Amino acid sequence: MNYLAATEADKQKMLERIGLDSMEDLFTDIPDNVKLNRALNLPEGMSEYELKKKIKSMSSQNQNMDQVISFLGGGAYDHYMPALVDHLLSRSEWYTAYTPYQPEISQGTLQNIFEFQTMVCELFGMEVSNASVYDGANALCEAMIMTTDRKKEIILSGAIHPEYIETVETYANGLGVEVKTAGLKGTITSIDELKASITDKTGAVAVQYPNFFGNIEDLQAIADLAHEHKAMFIVVVGDIISMGMLEAPGNLGADIVVGEGMSLAGPINFSGPSIGLMATTKKNVRKLPGRMVGMTDDKDGRRAFVLTLQAREQHIRREKALSNICSNQALHALATNITLCTLGTKGLKEMALKSMRNANYAMRRFTAIEGVELINGGHYFNEFALKLPVSAKLLNKRLLKKDIFGCVDLSRFYPERVNEGLFFLSEFRTKEEIDLVAQYMEVIFNEQLFK
């Protein structure tokens, strides 16, 4: 639909019809002291050419991920996107994030969502998936809602991303759910603290896999503990690429698996796009929020895709509704679909393996520098935490001058961890880049320590 601005004559006619003299008369109910009472701080209008030139000039100030060496992870992971993804996403019939209501004219979109759900189930080792939700943190909140309808308590591992925990606490505050946080043993969830926290009132226990510090948690042991107290077990998958190497959570006792799929959905643009993944068992299918696409036959016996279950209050009785999630990230689900189809099982595994090997090499190279220590206990995938001889903030500031994105400064989330940084290695990094950064780090540390 084209947008045609109203002319001054159009505006005057509308004002006359409602008996007003000016646009200001429309807002007489608003007190003067809260009105802006000045012109907006915007430049004068430009021609199309001038505006294009101005925007290009502004955008050139951004740093392109292709032009830097990055070790930033902590929830936003930069992985390879096949060129085919952008090419297919740009086709006009796909170019919407909206979920269709009319299956008879939307078979392509519905088939894509059905295949997306199938792939999420295969990655997570689960039986049913929804069409996606907004992001990983939102998916964890929806899982909490699924598990605390009767038992108003949930236990979160302290090794879940701090922003995910904060989001859950915000949701829980409005739902009357008590959120407990189990402490850590090093950088891994403390089983002893879980045992001390869990009660018969606990609706669910949630852990991240790999966790925020990069460690691989013992899912089976935590699942057994949760099920012993008749609580559900939620697993949060941070970097979806890890599913190319690690055992699927569903095979280790998970009742609900959620995650962030942005690694497969598109390049990092100010930490986006995001897409929340959710999967569970058939037993819990009617608790799953959002939309689910199913496959059936039409009256002529032809294969047909339809919206099967929708658990929002617009579709079922309000008291039975679990969530008001009423949309999904259809365009990002399509990107995820194309990426997985292009990579295949072998390609995903190779990507995960290279990322893990890069992390292992970088860890050994960085910890060979005097004063640098590995914090992680146990195993890690492609992310690890280091204790540094200087603050992570200072290190990052110096590395940025060399077009290097250093580490996640852990003091941002944990004030006591001033000299600790979280390093992520994707399949992009090379041995030469890692060696170069190690040399820079050594110089920076020596300069600071011997000032």
Q: Are residues 231 and 295 in the same domain?
A: yes
Cβ neighbours for 374, distance < 8 A, ≥ 6 positions apart: 363, 367, 384, 385, 386, 387
Whether residue 9 lies inside any domain: the answer is no
Last residue of a domain, one of 276, 311, 340: 340
Amino acid letter, residue 405: F
Last residue of a domain, one of 281, 307, 340: 340
Return the CATH number at 195: 3.40.640.10
- Confidence (pLDDT) at 326: 67
pLDDT tens by residue, the chain, 451 residues:
466 888 999 999 999 999 999 988 999 899 989 988 888 898 888 999 999 999 999 988 887 777 899 999 999 999 998 999 988 888 877 766 566 666 666 788 889 999 999 999 999 999 999 999 999 999 999 999 999 989 999 999 999 999 999 999 999 998 999 999 999 999 999 999 999 999 999 999 999 999 999 999 999 999 999 999 999 999 999 899 999 999 999 999 999 999 999 999 888 877 677 899 999 999 999 889 888 899 999 889 999 998 887 655 555 555 666 666 767 888 899 999 999 999 999 999 999 999 999 999 999 999 999 999 999 877 999 999 999 999 999 999 999 999 999 999 999 999 999 899 999 999 999 999 999 999 999 999 988 765 5
CB atoms inside a 10 Å sphere around CB 98: 11
- Confidence (pLDDT) at 316: 58
For residue 59, report the phi and psi dihedrals to the nearest 5 degrees. -70, -25
Q: Are residues 72 and 111 in the same domain?
A: no
Report the candidate in 209, 193, 285, 288 with the shortest Cα–Cα distance to residue 253: 209
Q: Are residues 225 and 146 in the same domain?
A: yes
Return the CATH number at 397: 3.90.1150.10
State the burial class of residue 244 (Cβ atoms within 10 Å of its Cβ: 0-12, 13-18, 19+): buried
Whether residue 17 lies inside any domain: the answer is no
Q: Are residues 135 and 209 in the same domain?
A: yes
Residue 155 is given by DSSP the state E
Q: Are residues 403 and 295 in the same domain?
A: no
Q: Are residues 95 and 137 in the same domain?
A: yes
Query: How far apart are alpha carbons 202 and 225 in whole angstroms?
Result: 11
Paired strand residues for 172: none
Last residue of a domain, one of 340, 356, 385: 340
* Number of domains within the chain: 2
Q: Are residues 278 and 381 in the same domain?
A: no
Whether residue 264 lies inside any domain: the answer is yes
With beta carbons less than 8 A apart as the criterion, state whether 235 and 189 touch: no
Q: Are residues 124 and 187 in the same domain?
A: yes
Q: Are residues 322 and 370 in the same domain?
A: no
With beta carbons less than 8 A apart as the criterion, state whether 235 and 257 touch: yes
Whether residue 3 lies inside any domain: the answer is no
Q: Are residues 239 and 276 in the same domain?
A: yes
Paired strand residues for 184: 189
Q: Are residues 325 and 359 in the same domain?
A: no
- What SS3 class is residue 1? coil
- Confidence (pLDDT) at 96: 60
Residue 99 is given by DSSP the state P
Query: How far apart are alpha carbons 234 and 249 in whole angstroms?
Result: 9
Paired strand residues for 297: 303
Q: Are residues 127 and 209 in the same domain?
A: yes
Query: How far apart are alpha carbons 109 and 330 in whole angstroms?
Result: 8
Q: Which domain does 351 fall in, by range? A: 67-78+345-449
- Confidence (pLDDT) at 122: 97
| Residue entry with tokens 């990426």 | 339
